[in-house]
Structure 1
Amino acid sequence: MKQQAQKVLRDMFDAALRVAQPERCLAPFLPAPVAGRTLVIGAGKASAAMARALEQSWQGEISGLVVTRYGYGVPCERIEIIEAAHPVPDQASEEAAKRILAAVEGLTEQDQVIVLISGGGSALLSLPAEGITLEDKQAINRALLSSGATISEMNTVRRHLSAIKGGRLAAACYPAKVYNLLISDVPGDNPVDVASGPTIADASTCADALEILRRYEIDIPAHIRQGLESGAYESVKPSDPRMARIETHFVATPQRSLEAAAEVAQAAGYTPLILGDSIEGEAKEVAKVMAGIARQVRKNGQPIKPPCVLLSGGETTVTVRGQGRGGRNVEFLLSLAIALQGDEGIAALAGDTDGVDGQEEIAGAIIYPDTLARAREKGIRPVDSLANNDGHGFFEALDDAVITGPTMTNVNDFRAILIDN
């Protein structure tokens, strides 16, 4: 089974990545040229590839700049590419945000702004609100990343500590037309959560951000707490008249990638079942639920008969308590392997579609029925690796890591559980 399982799992993952490539999905959503200027701005791990795809399809004059992750830049002729840090912002992130805000000054009703946004933009486009330092934002961001907070909760906080997110960039573009093209990496495809919604009106409040910080016991400086309590950091709301000339389109989503993987599975002789594109929760707990479903399939042929594949997407979380190298997808897989206890006929792949799981340049990994046995032969205790949040160390030792390099897209996590008779 092992060789066949590996091929089918990787083919499905590759199909999920391929359908979300900007060169394949962006062109149908481009607006028509206008009488005035067309300015291109953007942020995210896929933004440079989106800019290149736009240049290749656009008829007419364009200019602009986008910011992407270090190593994710691609050559463009008319759109400038800036690189900055992810997942924790750096000085380049702040400088990029300032330059993008400056670029949209002085626009008129005859102009349009095409905004290219994908996952990762929250860190890459980082401009602290007045009275907040970059160091403040870095510390809060690190605390959020290790707290177990959902991406929606993290982005609610980020929007209220920013001078550019939560609709503020769209407000700065007014009165020009704003045309958002998004690649979704968030559960539910809520546009305000993609890169913390720099050009999307925000209905959440400072009070919501404070509650999230309290819930996860994240300490913040007194002056930031005061700013949130007073409403000084409030984001731009849907009723704001500057939000009236905004149009938003998703050019790639997790669901479309799961559907592409399902087609590959069907062609390989496995009946696909998509369980959902917005599954959230603690990675190791989600894995236990998935293991239970997989075992029900194997034992009773419910809710689907093998050979089949269970597909899902979304964004799980990891509450970091150990000293390992983390990664929510490898944490999911390690917990799944422990729950399955070598059940014959079940293999699985989980990976982040941007090629980076946690802070490692590793997309994810694959488990097989012999995963636990091989680990023990090497003197590795799987339960200890899980307790130490060291999924990457575990799968590297077994040579089962999935490494893609920069994928130039990002439609969140991809999970496939392959079940044979």
Structure 2
Amino acid sequence: MTSPWQRSARGANLLGADGTLGVTIFEEMTTLALAHGAINLGQGFPDEDGPAVVREAAQAAIAAGANQYAPGKGIADLRLAVAEHQERFYGLTPDPEDEIIITTGATEAIAATLLALVGPGDEVLTFEPFYDSYGAIIALAGATHTTAPLLAPDFQPDLAALETAFTDRTKVVLVNNPHNPTGAVFGTAVLGEIVRLARKHDAVIVTDEVYEHLTFGVAHIPVATLPGAAERTLTISSAGKTFSFTGWKIGWLSGPAELVAAVRTVKQFLTYSSGTPFQGAIATGLRLGDEFYAEIAATLAHKRDILSAGLRAAGLDVYTPAGTYFVNADTAPLGITDSLDLARRLPELVGVAAIPVPVFCHPEGAERTRTLLRFAFCKKVPLLEQAAAQLATLRDRL
């Protein structure tokens, strides 16, 4: 019998040729990068730490003895800081006592939410391509994973196709915005239609907004700010992407008290709590001034442009992202119709590793995206300049 995990694993390339659980494409690309001494632009994590004041706050908390279990819903100061952040940036006013919980990264928040809200017979709707853990958690919950496509070049959904994707069995619509892996940022029209359809089908909206502060020239709009959305929306974010401390695994979830309580009931049997000294440090980070948030976005936009120039010089079509720290490039202009095959060759060909976008899709979506590669640009500028120069030689090396 095929396990739920194996059924969910097709897109993430988890199965070996014999059907047994194998390595992910991320692990495979990392192994190839190491074998060839290549620059790894596959996995999305920075190669430098975030603000010193946040790091020093964690060190001080450890020295002060904040090293035991935090409360299950998170330390009070971080819950308060999350509430302040939501009001400061978006005008939302969640109650830190019963409308916010702290999680072990956004991944746990998503897992606990889906395990709490859906089961066999329910459908969870995501956009496609989709972040790889979504499919796995949906399958572990026993629910059915349905999708609405995002199409190049702007990776915005067709609203008619989105409406068709909703059914009376849609229990949750999981919205990743800004979107990984495409870098799309959804505007009011798209988000408003999601809210309308969720209300029509009585679905809960779960938003993964971990890249909320990493947008370029466009504003991030939380779904919960739209009319009719707050009472059915759980908003998830985390510290890893904003502050470049991905290893700390500090996330949070906010929304209506009854939905938050349901998630907390599951979360207590996953990690219960985590990262006590890191929680206090992230409270410090969330209270940093506006200049910090403006600077991280501007710095990333510059890095995006460096890498994009190298990809264009390689002869690839580049789809400029409006957010996140990923850029997608199309291999079709080089006559390459299999991005997975090219991804496996890139570390040796030009000394750079990337992730093929089809691994973020079900089979039909994989066919639509079969020529796309995703590159991460959350690296130091000299490394990106080197990667861009090496990528520029691709056409000659093929």
Q: What range is the shorter-chain TM-score in?
A: 0.3 to 0.5
Give the TM-score normalised by the residue count of structure 2: 0.36
Q: TM-score scaled by structure 1?
A: 0.35
Indicate the structure with greater helix content.
2
Structure number with greater Rg is 1
